[in-house]
């Protein structure tokens, strides 16, 4: 049986998609704020891949390789205002989290995000 010649470069499973750098997008297209859910994101935070795992109620989870934030949530993140971050997250896509689950379901992933954060980069339009 004859093998077919491959056309074009073969990428590894860990290779970034086109227009991504260091595991994070360079464009805001298709992204939303990890805190409030806004589509008007301006910042991307690449995350250290070796620091993305954590446990919630004994089950293992892994954060994505980046989080994007809007301007308002970027300011909140930079000021390290955890109470404000939890309030915003609870009022958006994280609203499913019950009061008694905030420590496990919001504060733990937020702490992992802060620990793994490699710094903010401005996204292109």
If 0-12 CB within 10 Å is exposed, 13-18 middle and 19+ buried, where does residue 84 land? Answer: middle
Domain layout of the chain by residue ranges: 22-122
Say what the pLDDT of residue 13 is.
54
Separation CA 36–CA 32 (nearest Å): 8
Q: Which residues contact 110 (CB under 8 A, 6 or more apart)?
A: 82, 85, 86, 89
Residue 47's beta-bridge partner residues?
Answer: 117
For 35, 81, 86, 88, 106, the CA distances from 103, given in Å and listed in that order, are 15, 15, 10, 15, 6
Using pLDDT thresholds of 50, 70 and 90, give the confidence band for residue 15. confident
Q: What is the mean pLDDT of the chain?
A: 87
Report the half-sphere exposure of 69 (CA within 13 A, side-chain side). Answer: 23
Say what the pLDDT of residue 11 is.
45
The reported pTM is: 0.82
Using pLDDT thresholds of 50, 70 and 90, give the confidence band for residue 124. confident
Q: Is the pLDDT of residue 6 over 60?
A: no
Q: Which two tokens stand for residue 37?
A: 């859910």
The 10s digit of each residue's pLDDT in 17-64 is 777 777 788 888 999 999 999 999 999 999 999 999 999 999 999 999
């Amino acid at each position: 049986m004859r093998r077919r010649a491959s056309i074009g470069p073969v990428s590894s499973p860990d290779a970034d998609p086109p227009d991504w750098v260091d595991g994070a997008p360079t464009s805001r297209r298709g992204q939303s704020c990890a805190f409030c859910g806004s589509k008007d994101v301006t910042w991307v935070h690449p995350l250290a891949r070796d620091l993305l795992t954590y446990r919630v109620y004994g089950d293992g989870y892994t954060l994505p390789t980046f989080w994007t934030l809007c301007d308002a949530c970027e300011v909140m993140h930079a000021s390290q205002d955890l109470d404000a971050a939890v309030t915003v997250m609870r009022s958006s896509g994280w609203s499913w989290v019950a009061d008694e689950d905030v420590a496990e379901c919001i504060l733990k992933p937020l702490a992992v995000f802060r620990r793994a954060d490699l710094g903010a980069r401005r996204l292109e339009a």
